[in-house]
Structure 1
Amino acid sequence: MTTERRYDIDWLRVLAIGLLLIYHIAIVFQPWAMFIGFIKNDETMEGLWKPMTMLNVWRIPFLFYVSGMGLYFAMRKRNFRQLITERTKRILLPLLFGIVAIAPLHFLIFQKYYQLPLGYYPHAGHLWFLGNIFVYVLLLAPLLLFLKKREDGKFKKGLSSLMTHPLGPLSISVFFVAEAIMVKPQLFTLYAQTLHGFFLGLLAFFFGFLFVYSGKPFWQTVSKWKWLYVGLATVLYTIRLLVFETNSPGYLMAIESNCWIFGVFGFGYQYLNKPGKTLSYLSQAAYPVYIVHMFALYAGALVILPLDMPAFMKFILITTFTFVLCFLIYEFMIRRIGFMRPLFGLKWDRKKIIPQKIRLKLGL
């Protein structure tokens, strides 16, 4: 059974959240930003979107893969009831709080920026991702717990054997191709609150679990063949860029997405599986930063976009503003104020919830 801490997965989750912030900031400088509810800069930078189209095809599926892997580790010492209780605290509570108190904030800033009538209503916004994950846990937990109890069985042995071959990880792309063909999304990269996003996320979540479940063969294979996966992804991206104007058929984008992801897993396993104080801090911060980042981004846009300066300079300033504000909110509010921690997916910290003097009197 896999019991060691996987620092590379922690690092990749942190990096994925960081890329997500940059991706969302880049939308501000696209001509269609307002159509999806983003504040738009008057001067656009459409050239900035080319690298974002490469990122967009795998950024969300990657997070679902990592979430499925995280569920495997969460199940190590928990039965079904304990698992659902833990996931309710970690996912459902932050989702419900975010719907009421966090996601509407950037919508209010949008209204203020465009001098629209101010109106508040609860909505999930970017937190749709958490809702999907919680549903996946409810749907898949019985099956995954069943598999977890039979880690010496034929299924795991067969899966581990399959993962020793470079085509083993890629073989699961047949399910993603089938999803793209059957669901027929208008845009493959439109994940939020769509049937395509739900089923694609479900597949990635499930196979993320299975990859960790299969043991070391998967990681050794993606590490050994990482350049093959990146090479295939690069070829498919080049075809998408030159032939299909970044929007190739869904079945090709499904394969390209998995190739990027397996390459990233391979590089992560080889170079990032190391502990450290920086990782310890960022790993804790990543989830709260994800929850508050849209508020910080819109606040930055509200302040910076009216300034008279080149668009690229605004992009740099908004990026800096967003990261700094997110970490200030995390460090001086979420991390230090005890009752706020569980609202952002962090564990209760008795030292922060109960004042020092009271703890001493109670002998805690």
Structure 2
Amino acid sequence: MLTNRRYDIDWLRVIAIGLLLIYHIAIGFQPWGVFIGFIQNDEALESIWIPMSMLNVWRIPLLFFVSGMGVYFAIQRRSWKGLLFERTKRILLPFIFGMLVIVPLHVWLWQYYYHQGLSYMLNPAHLWFLGNIFIYVLIFTPLFFYLKNKQESKLFSVLNKLMASPLALLVLMIPFIIEAKLVQPENFELYAMTPHGFWMGMIAFLTGFLCVYSGQNFWKNVTKLRWPTLAIAFILYLLRLQGLTSDLLNYLIPVESNLWIYTVFGFGYKYLNQPSKALTYLSSAAYPIYVIHMFFLFMASFIIFPLDIHPYTKLIAVILATFGGCFISYDFLIRRIRWIRPLFGLKPKSVEIRNETTRLSREGIKI
């Protein structure tokens, strides 16, 4: 069983959240951005949506996979009560705080920008992901702890043998294909607060847990097949981009989505599974930045979009302002003030230092 720290999974979570920020920034330069609640630039940059459309079928499913994997590692050193208590503090508390404090700020910015009356009805907005994850933890905790206590079970043996075969990657896709066929989402990439997002997220969360639970064979498999999965995923993306697979989208997009994710896992396991100071910092920063990024994105859009400058200059300025605002607020405010830390899902500073010291000691790094 895998119990050691998996730095590649930490890196992938950081990268996925970074891509989320870029993706949300790009929405502001699309002609339909305002219709889904984003501040929209008057002059669109539709060409930048070509790479974004590649990301939009796997960026959120990847986060659900990684979240399920994270729970596997969490339960190795916790009881079921400890897990629920820890997830309540680190997921439910920021979720509620975000809905009460963070979300209204960017909603009001949007309303003010478009000369709407200022009002707010409680909603999760971009934090919907946290609500889903907390529900999945509640649902699957009995199963996860049963599997933890049956680590030499027949299920583990079957999964371990299955994951050694390339066919395992096809088998893992089947629930995603069934979900898309049954739910029939109007757009596969519309995950936020939709039945498709909920059920797809649940499948990805459980699959992520089982991939780590099954042992090393899954990781050897995706590492060995990373180039073929990349090639097939890219071909499916090109076909989707040209509209040549429109009659088969509910079948092929889940396949493409999973192939991108397997590719990312394969390259990540080969090249990213090592500690670094950058990862330590970014891994801690990623969650708070996810919580606050929409406020800084909307603030940057509010100030920059009315300027009489080239839209590509605006794009660069919004990227810099959004990332800069997020990192400055994290570095100088969120991580330094003790009572603010838990509101953004951070552990107490003393616990963070102790955990990092223990990690470095286990790795034989002098401190």
- Which category describes the TM-score, using the shorter chain as reference length? over 0.9
> By how many angstroms is 1:123 displaced?
1.8
Aligned counterpart, 2:365: none
Aligned counterpart, 1:131: 131
Q: 1:69·1:212 contact (CA, 8 Å) conserved in 2?
A: yes
User: Which amino acid counterpart does residue 209 of structure 1 have in structure 2?
Assistant: F
Q: 1:164·1:218 contact (CA, 8 Å) conserved in 2?
A: yes
User: Which amino acid counterpart does residue 114 of structure 1 have in structure 2?
Assistant: Y
Aligned counterpart, 2:358: none
Q: 1:75·1:83 contact (CA, 8 Å) conserved in 2?
A: yes
Question: Equivalents in 1 of 2:91, 2:29: separation in Å?
Answer: 31
Of 284-293 and 118-127, the range deviating more from structure 2: 118-127
Residue 78 (1) aligns with residue 78 (2): yes
Question: Equivalents in 2 of 1:197, 1:248: separation in Å?
Answer: 19
CA-based RMSD of the aligned residues comes to 1.4
Question: Equivalents in 2 of 1:129, 1:227: separation in Å?
Answer: 30
> CA deviation digits over 1:164-204, x for unaligned, max 9?
11221231111100001111111111100011100000000
Residue 233 (1) aligns with residue 233 (2): yes
User: Which amino acid counterpart does residue 218 of structure 1 have in structure 2?
Assistant: F
Sequence identity (%): 54
Question: Equivalents in 2 of 1:60, 1:123: separation in Å?
Answer: 19
Q: Cα gap change, 1:247/1:276 in structure 2, threshold over 3 Å: closer, same or farther?
A: farther
Write the mapping of 1:189-268 to structure 2, written as runs, cut at 5 A. Answer: 189-244=189-244, 249-268=249-268
User: Which amino acid counterpart does residue 145 of structure 1 have in structure 2?
Assistant: F
SS at match of 1:165: coil
User: Which amino acid counterpart does residue 298 of structure 1 have in structure 2?
Assistant: F
User: Which amino acid counterpart does residue 63 of structure 1 have in structure 2?
Assistant: L
Query: Tell me, which stretches of 5 or more residues in structure 1 are unaligned?
Result: 353-364
SS at match of 1:338: coil
Residue 153 (1) aligns with residue 143 (2): no
Aligned counterpart, 2:25: 25
Question: Equivalents in 2 of 1:135, 1:259: separation in Å?
Answer: 26
Write the mapping of 1:109-128 to structure 2, written as runs, cut at 5 A. Answer: 109-128=109-128
Aligned counterpart, 2:12: 12
Q: 1:170·1:259 contact (CA, 8 Å) conserved in 2?
A: no
Question: Equivalents in 2 of 1:41, 1:111: separation in Å?
Answer: 15
Aligned counterpart, 2:172: 172
Q: 1:338·1:350 contact (CA, 8 Å) conserved in 2?
A: no
Aligned counterpart, 2:140: 140
> By how many angstroms is 1:148 displaced?
1.2
Aligned counterpart, 1:358: none
> By how many angstroms is 1:118 displaced?
1.6
> CA deviation digits over 1:235-280, x for unaligned, max 9?
1111111134889612210000000000000000000011011100
How many pairs were matched up? 352
Aligned counterpart, 1:357: none
SS at match of 2:339: helix
Structure 1 length-normalised TM: 0.94
Question: Equivalents in 2 of 1:30, 1:223: separation in Å?
Answer: 36
Of 116-125 and 64-73, the range deviating more from structure 2: 116-125
Question: Equivalents in 1 of 2:77, 2:285: separation in Å?
Answer: 24
Query: Tell me, which stretches of 5 or more residues in structure 2 are unaligned?
Result: 353-367
> CA deviation digits over 1:24-45, x for unaligned, max 9?
0000000000110001100001
Q: 1:222·1:263 contact (CA, 8 Å) conserved in 2?
A: yes
Q: Cα gap change, 1:160/1:245 in structure 2, threshold over 3 Å: closer, same or farther?
A: closer
Structure 2 length-normalised TM: 0.94
Question: Equivalents in 1 of 2:234, 2:349: separation in Å?
Answer: 45
